[in-house]
A and B are shown apart, each in its own frame.
Chain A
Amino acid sequence: MSKEIRFSDETMTLVNKIIKRYPEGKHKSAVIPILHLAQMEFDGWLSPETMDYVASILNIQPIEVYEVASFYSMFNLKPVGKCLIEVCRTGPCWLLGAEDLVRHIEKKLHIKDGETTADGMFTLKTVECLASCGTAPMMQIGETYHENLTCEKVDEILNDYRSKGERVTHWDKKHVKAQ
């Protein structure tokens, strides 16, 4: 299945607005926000074609996009499920049961850390400290922080995402419409 990689007009308006935030000739600065938007628009991950497209918008070399995309942990260089579950695994969350939480999700969804469910709905990823240590343990899905978690709460939250069945991304589409 190949579809043309091209931002919608709405997103493109935002892209152009973001590029103008940086001094003339320094538009490369916009690469990270635009990659977030690309991940939002093109199925939650960055394919080589998507990165080449971003390079063409910014008029920079593709390698300049690849090296940024591969450095930052929020950029997915492989396809992910509609709903990327990012569980914090760092010290403070770990002190309050993050390990149990991860094991519970693995068992519930029959996947390991880094894997995607067979139906393409969920991907599980353990991540580093999300600055939510006072409400540990926690996980992020899209832009939402789910805090003070228990196994029961996780079940409810995941069931909710499954029944909606929509793709969730870090940069939520509703913010593009609000521009």
Chain B
Amino acid sequence: MGKKLLLEHIDVPGIDKLETYRAHGGYKALEKALKMKPEELVEEVKKSGLRGRGGAGFPTGMKWSFLAKPEGVPRHLVCNADESEPGTFKDRYLMQHKPHLLIEGMIIGSIALGAKSSYIYIRGEMLYVYHILERAIQECYDAGLLGENIMGSGLSLDLYVHPGAGAYICGEETALIESLEGKRGNPRIKPPFPAIAGVWGRPTVVNNVETIAAVVPIINMGGEEYAKIGVGKSTGTKLISACGHINKPGVYEIDLGLPVEEFLNSDEYCGGIRNGNKLKAVVAGGSSVPILPGELFLKNAKGEDRLMTYESLADGGFATGTMLGSGGFIVMDDSTSIVKNLWNFTRFYHHESCGQCSPCREGTGWMEKVLHRIIEGHGKKEDVDLLWDIQSKIDGKTICPLGDAASWPVASAIRHFRKEFEEYINNPATIKDVKHYYRLNKQPEPVA
């Protein structure tokens, strides 16, 4: 059983209210932080080894220490609550049930960075969570935890929630910044990095919800203690949102380093594949990371058991590995059509491309079209190579990583499931059975 640092007390009725949250140890980390110097707070986060929980896994302490501090220029902490990566629903769960954990993390982070006004950018579809956060923030103002002179410390902070309005791209930090400025979510060319010129041209740190929430236990227990959880450079706990063909979908907090097989099969977590079916494939970290066949997911190419860590999941590079990503864990059983699933994902990226860079804007559309004709039974012999060619001309050739994110699922599906594509193309008649394979009521029976 792993430690519960973020999900602790999440089932306590009323934990979304300040009084209940405080009665269960809430805002103790803030009290501690108010007695520390900002640079000591940054140092604790560095010692903890915490890495960005949004997907990229960049060391948070280092990101904080890059923040420029020119005299007389305000700087900002912005929370990325634009959770939109297919398969990922951990941040929504955390904010809905424990809004004060995020707020406490935002206050501590803002003190560490010297920010006097901070923003939580939440995706527009989650407006109901926006109102939960608004109420929680108001409670903090009323209790003297926000505003002027926080808990008599002389420090002040204003915290605001800002809604988006439906755009996956705004999860990319520079697109998020553009959106926060009231514009279309077109990513910016870096440099300059947000740490130098972010929102309104001011030095800005953008962190994921879970990253900011993790700062609270780190300050409570100390960075060194936190770093003792996990394996190597994958320290601490991680929220994994598990979905797809499993018995127990949901949000789980694991100690990094948990064997993937235990996570997938034990009753404490996913509870195994539903209906006694066999595992076919896993997308371990949100739709953007490479898909792996079951056997290669459970054991790496050397035959060693994989662990839920940044390193172990990436073992073998893209040839035989994947990424921990956002922790959006999508499991597919042996009834799954990889080709049709890929068409679905590719349609998603085409829909969500902001349109700035031609390789992404055009390429995602071409991939969607080619895949569509394959699943409709009109695939051509050269289509698999054509798909490979298109994805290779998107990957790494765009301003932001959406292009990469669109190409990796295509490349990995072809790499590991090429035969399935060829079957679709060579025997279109056989596809009819799998075309509308997924049924409601969780009964995976093919349409007659």
Contacts and interface: CB of A to CB of B under 8 A. Distances in A.
Interface string B413-448: 000000000000000000000001011111000000
Interface string A16-34: 0000010100101111110
Contact of B127 (A26, A36, A129): A36
B86 A91 contact: yes
User: Which of A29, A127, A172 counts the most B-chain CB atoms under 10 A from its CB?
Assistant: A29
Interface residues of B, number: 62
Contact of B185 (A71, A74, A97): A71
A80 interface: no
Nearest to B443: A97
Interface string B340-355: 0100110010011010
A101 interface: yes
Contacts of A143: 127-128, 131
Contacts of B283: 91
Contacts of B241: 133-134
A29 B245 CA distance: 41
Interface in B72-122: 74, 83-89, 91-92, 117
Contact of B166 (A23, A72, A99, A104): A72
A132 B86 contact: no
B163 A134 contact: no
Interface string B139-176: 00000000000000000001010111111100000000
Interface in A25-66: 26, 28-33, 35-36, 64
Contacts of B182: 28-32, 64, 68
A134 B89 contact: yes
Interface stretch (A3-11, A109-117, A144-152): A144-152
A44 B409 CA distance: 36
A114 to B, nearest CB: 13
B124 interface: yes
> Chain A interface: which size bin?
35 or more
Interface string A149-162: 11100000000000
B184 interface: yes
Interface stretch (B8-16, B36-44, B328-336): B328-336
Contact of B84 (A72, A99, A131): A131
B442 A131 contact: no
A95 interface: yes
B181 A170 contact: no
A94 B438 contact: yes
B165 A133 contact: no
A133 B89 contact: yes
Contacts of A71: 167, 184-185, 354
B251 interface: yes
Nearest to B332: A95
Interface in A75-95: 75, 89-92, 94-95
A73 interface: yes
B364 interface: no
A75 B165 contact: yes
B135 to A, nearest CB: 8
B173 to A, nearest CB: 16
A29 B440 contact: no
Contacts of B74: 23
A95 B246 CA distance: 11
A150 B441 CA distance: 6
B180 A29 contact: yes
Given A68-B184, A92-B87, A127-B125, 4 more contacts: A32-B179, A75-B166, A131-B125, A150-B441
Nearest 8 pairs of A and B residues by beta carbon: A72-B165, A73-B166, A97-B440, A74-B166, A133-B243, A134-B249, A28-B182, A31-B182
